[in-house]
Amino acid sequence: MKIVIGIDVGGTSIKGAAVMENGVILDRFVFPTKKEEKPEVLFDTICEKIVEQMNAKHYEVEGIGIGIPGLINSKEGIVTSSVNLPTWKNFNIVEYVSRKTKLPVLITNDANAAALGEAHFGSGKKYNNIVMVTLGTGVGGGVIIDKKIYDGNEGKGAELGHMVVQVGGRECGCGRRGCLEAYASATGLIASTIEAMEKNPDSKLHEIAKENGKVDAKVAFLAEAKGDKVAKEVVEQYITYLGEGLLNFCNIFRPEAIIISGGVANEGENLFSKLRKYLKDNNYGYKEAPKVEILPSELGYDSGIIGAACLPLFKE
């Protein structure tokens, strides 16, 4: 059975594992990422670990796939830049890692990797065309067409979170205004919750935030469940922005399924049932066009590792 290495680079740690061709994870490793540390130093340790693992277990590893948070040039194998990893500037990761390990290396951005993992081994496995949306600090997006990543020129496309849903709206980290990310990320939901709390000192949101210890993405949903009117408005507004974003993806790609992951997706059915209703009511040609399933991620935190492993597993 084929074995490859999948590596999921994050802002605080790098997780990796040997992955079998059936998607089963064998041996894991985790290394912390430090903001000031050069990627070469970090990858010296990681490559050593990989080589050591291969020698100890006699794995015939066929290649390495790496998912990276930031702008990459997938064709040239370069990390152009990464907001959370400031020292990663024009780093030729493919050249570096393949020289150290003598293995072929492929890269993509982290959201694309997660989407590819779900498409092959997660909730998207029975579909050929999916869109994956991650609702975390930002909004990550991945587009899979015929089981392959669609990521545009140099691998810099499919930035679904930076589609504008409110012209002239909230400022976004990318420098524009009104992006989906500014409203539908956990950060966006927290901003909406805080705005509502400031305007409504009598809302249950205050009490729930106090019990919760802080205002996070759960507070609005918790207060809504207790019948708070202001919280209901916050949740409805959240569903509207996220729903409009997903509708745009439905209308542009008409995927068989949209898979949603990330912190906000932990709301489970409470979120998914509302989204399904919104999409059913507003989808272009919803009576004649095929339905788009809205599904939670199946691989969860492993989608990044498994998805990165899918790069060498399913390369042309």
Residues that bind Zn ion (CB under 5 A): 162, 172, 174, 176, 179
Separation in Å, CA 75 to CA 160, 233, 280: 20, 45, 38
101 or 187: CB nearest Zn ion: 187
Q: 81 with 70: CB under 8 angstroms?
A: yes
Helix %, strand %, coil % of the chain (to 5) = 45, 25, 35
Q: Could you tell me the smallest distance in angstroms from the CB atom of residue 198 to Zn ion? A: 24
Determine if residue 90 is left, alpha or beta; phi over 0 gives left, psi from -120 to 50 gives alpha, anything else beta. Answer: left
Q: Could you tell me the smallest distance in angstroms from the CB atom of residue 16 to Zn ion? A: 29
How deeply is 268 buried, as exposed, middle or buried, from its count of CB atoms within 10 A (0-12, 13-18, 19+)?
exposed
Residue type, 195: E
118 or 244: CB nearest Zn ion: 244
179 or 313: CB nearest Zn ion: 179
63 or 69: CB nearest Zn ion: 69
Q: Could you tell me the smallest distance in angstroms from the CB atom of residue 283 to Zn ion? A: 24
Q: Could you tell me the smallest distance in angstroms from the CB atom of residue 304 to Zn ion? A: 22
Reference 10, options 42, 54, 47; nearest CA is: 42
49 or 162: CB nearest Zn ion: 162
**3-class state of residue 26 by DSSP:** strand
Q: 177 with 134: CB under 8 angstroms?
A: no
168 or 201: CB nearest Zn ion: 168
Q: Could you tell me the smallest distance in angstroms from the CB atom of residue 247 to Zn ion? A: 18
Q: Could you tell me the smallest distance in angstroms from the CB atom of residue 174 to Zn ion? A: 3
Separation in Å, CA 193 to CA 174, 214, 231, 234, 240: 22, 11, 8, 6, 15
